[in-house]
């Protein structure tokens, strides 16, 4: 089951639950004869519409996913380069690249990465060194690193060499996603 489907079903399920609660609140005193159906129907339709919108947005991102992976980070052995072969299908189309080091523990120091992308002929399309600051989630009070993203436009098809060099020790996982604006049949990595 895709994340898009889960989003739709969750929103619809919430709509059903809230609608049922609205009907129950009205029937516990007066029975079904005096039920006003406006609120329950509006709750169900609103939640289903929200789920449909979430489905469309998420499935659109999934369809445009060219390449996505969670790669094992280098741990303490830095600097260490992690190499990926990104299969370009549509030269001339704008591609978006996301690199996100992640950790399952709370982080309190920045992570430094270097991202290099070359086409099959060895021409460099991207070569950036970035410092990613910790960002904290207010709900869980857990901090993780910011993600880094950029756009590039390949000129040739075929495998492009992406090297993410982690320069900071203690990065257990590096999430990489490449999107292609012309792709229509992509799939997200498991868990996304």
pLDDT exceeds cutoff 60 at 29:
yes
pLDDT exceeds cutoff 90 at 11:
no
Q: Tell me: the pLDDT tens digits for 112-162?
A: 999 999 999 999 999 999 999 998 877 667 888 999 999 999 999 999 999
**Residue ranges covered by each domain of the chain:** 3-62, 66-180
For 123, other C-beta atoms within 10 Å of its C-beta total 12
Beta pairing partners, 117: 126, 162
Q: Does domain 66-180 have CATH number 3.30.360.10?
A: no
pTM more than 0.75: no
């Amino acid at each position: 089951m895709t994340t898009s489907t889960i989003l739709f079903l969750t929103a619809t399920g919430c709509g059903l639950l809230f609608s049922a609660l609205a009907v129950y609140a009205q029937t516990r005193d007066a029975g079904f004869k005096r039920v006003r159906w406006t609120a329950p129907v509006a709750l169900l339709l609103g939640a289903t519409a929200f789920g449909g919108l979430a489905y469309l947005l998420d499935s659109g991102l999934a369809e445009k996913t060219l390449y996505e992976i969670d790669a094992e980070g280098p741990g303490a052995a830095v600097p260490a380069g992690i190499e990926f072969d990104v299969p370009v299908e549509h030269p001339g189309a704008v591609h978006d690249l996301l690199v996100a080091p992640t950790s399952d523990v709370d982080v309190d120091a920045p992570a430094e990465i270097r991202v290099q992308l070359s086409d099959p002929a060895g021409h460099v399309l991207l070569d950036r060194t970035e410092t990613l600051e910790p960002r904290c989630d207010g709900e869980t009070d857990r901090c993780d690193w910011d993600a880094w993203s950029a756009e590039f436009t390949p000129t040739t098809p075929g495998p492009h060499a992406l090297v993410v060099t982690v320069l900071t020790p203690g990065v257990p996982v590096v999430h990489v996603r490449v999107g292609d604006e012309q792709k229509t049949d992509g799939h997200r990595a498991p868990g996304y």
